[in-house]
Copies of this chain bind each other. A is one copy, B any other.
Amino acid sequence: METITIKDIARICGVGVSTVSRAMNDHPDINAETKQKIMEVIREYNYVPNNSARNLKRTDSNTIALLVKGVDNPFFGRMIRVIEEEIEKKQYSMVVRHVEPSEDEVSIAMELEKERRLKGMIFLGGFYTESADSLKLLKVPVVLVTSAKPQYEDDEFYSSVSVDDVKESYRMVDYLCTQGHRDIAILTATKYDESVGRLRLMGYEQALEKHQVPLNPKLIRYMEDGEDYSMENGYKLMRELLDEKESFTSVFAISDSLAVGACRAIHDVGLRIPEDIAVAGFDGIDIATYYTPSLTTIKQPIEEIAKETTRILFQVIRKKTKHTHKYFDGELMIRESTQ
């Protein structure tokens, strides 16, 4: 059967093409009865506008799965949006699956791969090196984005795109040290984290070592299992530290959301930022700009990371390139919360 066109609809209704178009677009300049008749014919003939037909080559199997850990982090909102836009440009669709902190993303990926005809997968957020081995079990190309690249010798079976979390974290703590801080607390992921939390903690430790500041374990505050990078957790971790009366002059929260919660906790006990305690975050999301005080942070190039992720994924899908590992530079944004 031939596809019905807007001209056919116009002919059947005895009107011009522009009138059908006006009816479809709810243009005010059309007679109500005429419009009703046109809409009835459109329904009857199951007409789909031409601009929708342009993408007919897209099919169910042109699907990319996006697995997301910790979507409450506003940092991911922007990332997901850009990734979706890029996938859409390629005429593919994006299936999203959130992964709970307690779930294993590779098992979920295998499940998705079996059920749906995927062309590729993107893992956004926390990735645990424990499952690096089982990544090999996946048949479609995988790109890890802003995840910790697993410490695994054989890295030719997946791609990764991120900032160098150790280096960027080092950059921030080095800056705090040059500002004269020696007692620097850190709000970080869980104690057994194998993802960016561990890498950012490593950068913190390396910067302190360079500045010959002995590590004070009491100033390292870990999330508990199952907790995420939320303002609520930043508040909780900071409140606990403040209540212990440990001496410190600055705090590095490994995400801006955690930093916002920390700022509120410092405010609630009557201390000032940065005069009493300087606060630094990580990510560079909007709230870091608009919070009062504005937050010193490491700005991740979210758009570039998202675009590079899809670019690499489609190149591997089309077998144009091998898997690759790409690092972007972050940018130290010095704002009110530390000066």
Chain A 116-134 interface mask (CB, 8 Å, partner B; 1/0)? 1100000000000011111
Nearest CB on B from A307, distance (A): 15
Main secondary structure of the interface of A (DSSP, over half): helix
Q: How far is the CA of A231 from the CA of B256 in the complex (A)?
A: 15
Q: Among A165-173, A282-290, A315-323, which stretch is in contact with chain B? A: A282-290
Q: Is the pair B95, A93 in contact by a Cβ cutoff of 8 Å?
A: yes
A55-B111 CB under 8 A given contacts A39-B136, A88-B97, A131-B26: yes
Nearest CB on B from A98, distance (A): 5
Q: Which of A300-332 contact B (CB under 8 A)?
A: none
Chain A 59-98 interface mask (CB, 8 Å, partner B; 1/0)? 1110100000001101011101100110010000111111
A204 at the interface (CB under 8 A from B): no
Nearest CB on B from A28, distance (A): 9
Nearest CB on B from A187, distance (A): 14
Q: Give chain B residues whose Cβ lies under 8 Å from the Cβ of A63.
A: 95
Q: Which residue on B lies nearest to A74, using beta carbons? A: B74
Q: Give chain B residues whose Cβ lies under 8 Å from the Cβ of A53.
A: 114
Q: Give chain B residues whose Cβ lies under 8 Å from the Cβ of A98.
A: 81, 84-85, 88
Q: Among A4-12, A178-186, A258-266, which stretch is in contact with chain B? A: A258-266
A51 at the interface (CB under 8 A from B): yes
Q: Give chain B residues whose Cβ lies under 8 Å from the Cβ of A286.
A: 72, 230-232, 257
Q: Is the pair A95, B97 in contact by a Cβ cutoff of 8 Å?
A: no
Q: Among A41-49, A207-215, A241-249, which stretch is in contact with chain B? A: A41-49
A269 at the interface (CB under 8 A from B): no
A137 at the interface (CB under 8 A from B): yes
Name the contact of A77 in the complex, choosing from B55, B72, B134, B234 (C-beta under 8 A).
Answer: B72
Question: Can you report 19 A-B residue pairs in the complex whose CB atoms are below 8 A from each other?
Answer: A26-B131, A52-B107, A55-B115, A56-B115, A59-B115, A72-B77, A74-B74, A81-B98, A84-B96, A93-B95, A93-B115, A94-B95, A95-B96, A232-B286, A235-B290, A263-B290, A264-B289, A291-B292, A292-B292
Q: Which residues of A line the B interface, CB within 8 A? A: 24-26, 35, 39, 42-43, 48-49, 51-53, 55-56, 58-61, 63, 71-72, 74, 76-78, 80-81, 84-85, 88, 93-98, 104, 107-108, 110-112, 114-117, 130-134, 136-137, 230-232, 234-235, 257, 260-261, 263-264, 267, 286-287, 289-292, 294
